[in-house]
């Protein structure tokens, strides 16, 4: 018999802060009520940019050149468009519903900002950025990108016009997502119509959380409002979600990485000596060159 997984805590959006001049985010973890840096492993960080209207600007807002090593960044766009460039010559734009999955791994320089036409026009902006940890065996693999368009995602259509599950990574029932991952995980967008009820089954050992991007849901007898994060206990497999309003829910579940963590700024390693080496490598120009 499948055990029902219960809610450990429902976390209201922390006070927002700016990352650069283009990303107003609520940092759900690590920190605050999720100060344990392994509590959502393999997901190390979640910055949520709730809905905000940006005024038109001829100068694209964003984040200037910065390094990364030891992990992956996963950027999910719900409203607006985001452009990026890196020191390996890669560049791209993601729009509403798209995902950029960047494996920084051994290291690169990176910048991201509002896409030029979106910047000139202004408008509604909403996004999520995750940092996904890499096991020690893969932290120094070559960087790579996975540009995942909305159209390329796996899609499970619920019967009775109840909505759909978009599979970015992992699977839902027999539908698989396009993202290649280094450890087992599921990254899903559930787009549910009011009144829809749907079950998810994840191993009880997987760390699992849900962000309500739009609308309101019920998990058992508890309600989770827009912009709130539900951290699930590791006490069962079955999660039943009911949409009490039309809703969009980002669902994260993954096998924990049981390794030491040493994190400083944009470096996520296993030891402090590895962090120090990353800083030295950036200073020595080993991450390449990228103009502001």
What CATH number should be reported for the domain holding residue 202? 2.60.120.10
For residue 29, being part of any structural domain is answered with yes
For residue 142, being part of any structural domain is answered with yes
pLDDT digits (tens, 9 = 90+) for 226-257: 999 999 999 999 999 999 999 999 999 999 99
pLDDT surpasses 90 at 215: yes
What's the structural domain count of the chain?
1
Q: Stretch 67-82: mean pLDDT, rounded?
A: 98
Task: For residue 73, give its domain range.
Answer: 7-254
Contacts of 36 (CB under 8 A, 6+ apart): 30
pLDDT surpasses 90 at 277: yes
Q: Stretch 120-143: mean pLDDT, rounded?
A: 98
CA distance 55 to 118: 10
Question: From the DSSP assignment, how many helices (H) and strands (E) are in the chain?
Answer: 2, 26
CA distance 230 to 63: 29
pLDDT digits (tens, 9 = 90+) for 52-63: 999 999 999 999
In this prediction, residue 89 has a pLDDT band, given cuts at 50, 70 and 90, of confident
pLDDT surpasses 90 at 78: yes
For residue 19, being part of any structural domain is answered with yes
Instruction: Confirm if 87 and 287 have CB atoms less than 8 A apart.
Output: yes
CA distance 225 to 204: 24
In three-state form (DSSP H/G/I as H, E/B as E, the rest C), the secondary structure along 236-284 is: CCEEEEEECCCEEEEEEEECCCCCCCEEECCEEECCHHHHHHHHHHHHC
Q: Stretch 83-105: mean pLDDT, rounded?
A: 94
For residue 269, being part of any structural domain is answered with no
**Model confidence, pTM:** 0.97
Q: Return mean pLDDT, the chain.
A: 96
Q: Find tokens 């502001």 and name the residue.
A: 292
Q: What is the pLDDT of residue 35?
A: 85
Residue among 51, 33, 99 nearest 72 (CA)? 99
User: Both tokens of residue 70?
Assistant: 């030891």
Give the distance, in angstroms, between the CA of residue 102 and the centroid of all CA atoms in the same chain: 11
For residue 279, being part of any structural domain is answered with no
Q: What is the pLDDT of residue 291?
A: 86
pLDDT digits (tens, 9 = 90+) for 9-41: 999 999 999 999 999 999 999 988 888 999 999
For residue 76, being part of any structural domain is answered with yes
Percent of the chain with pLDDT over 70: 99
pLDDT surpasses 70 at 221: yes
For residue 261, being part of any structural domain is answered with no
Q: What is the pLDDT of residue 2?
A: 67
In this prediction, residue 117 has a pLDDT band, given cuts at 50, 70 and 90, of very high
For residue 119, being part of any structural domain is answered with yes
Q: What is the pLDDT of residue 88?
A: 86
pLDDT digits (tens, 9 = 90+) for 174-191: 999 999 999 999 999 999
Number of other residues whose CB lies within 10 A of the CB of residue 280: 10
Percent of the chain with pLDDT over 90: 95
Residue among 201, 232, 205 nearest 219 (CA)? 232
CA distance 63 to 85: 11
Contacts of 200 (CB under 8 A, 6+ apart): 172, 188, 238, 239, 240, 241, 251, 253
User: What single string gives the DSSP state of each residue in 124-168?
Assistant: EEEEEEEEEE--GGGTTSPPEEEEE-GGGSEEEEPTTT-EEEEEE
CA distance 177 to 186: 9
């Amino acid at each position: 018999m499948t055990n029902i997984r219960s809610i450990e805590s429902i976390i209201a959006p922390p006070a927002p802060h700016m990352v650069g001049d283009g990303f107003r985010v609520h940092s759900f973890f690590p920190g605050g009520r999720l100060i344990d840096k392994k509590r959502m492993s393999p997901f190390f960080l979640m910055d949520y940019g709730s809905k905000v209207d940006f005024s038109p600007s001829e100068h694209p807002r964003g984040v200037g050149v910065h390094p990364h090593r030891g992990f992956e960044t996963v950027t999910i766009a719900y409203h607006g468009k985001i452009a990026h460039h890196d020191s390996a010559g890669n560049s791209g734009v993601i729009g509403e519903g798209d995902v950029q999955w960047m494996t920084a791994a051994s290291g690169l320089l990176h910048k991201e900002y509002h896409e030029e036409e979106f910047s000139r026009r202004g408008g509604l902006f909403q996004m999520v950025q995750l940092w996904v940890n890499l096991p020690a065996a893969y932290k120094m693999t070559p960087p790579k990108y996975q540009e995942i368009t909305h159209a390329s995602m796996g899609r499970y259509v619920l019967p009775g016009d109840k909505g759909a599950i978009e599979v970015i990574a992992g699977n839902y029932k027999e539908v698989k997502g396009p993202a290649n991952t280094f450890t087992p995980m599921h990254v899903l967008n559930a787009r549910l119509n009011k009144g829809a009820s749907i079950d998810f089954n994840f191993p009880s050992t997987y760390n699992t959380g849900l962000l309500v991007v739009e609308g309101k849901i019920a998990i058992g007898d508890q309600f989770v409002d827009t912009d709130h994060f539900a951290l699930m206990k590791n006490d069962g497999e079955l999660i039943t979600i009911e949409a009490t309003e039309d809703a969009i829910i980002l669902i994260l579940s993954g096998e924990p990485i049981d390794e030491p963590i040493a994190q400083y700024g944009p470096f996520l390693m296993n030891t402090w000596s590895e962090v120090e080496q990353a800083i030295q490598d950036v200073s020595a120009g080993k991450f390449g060159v990228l103009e502001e």
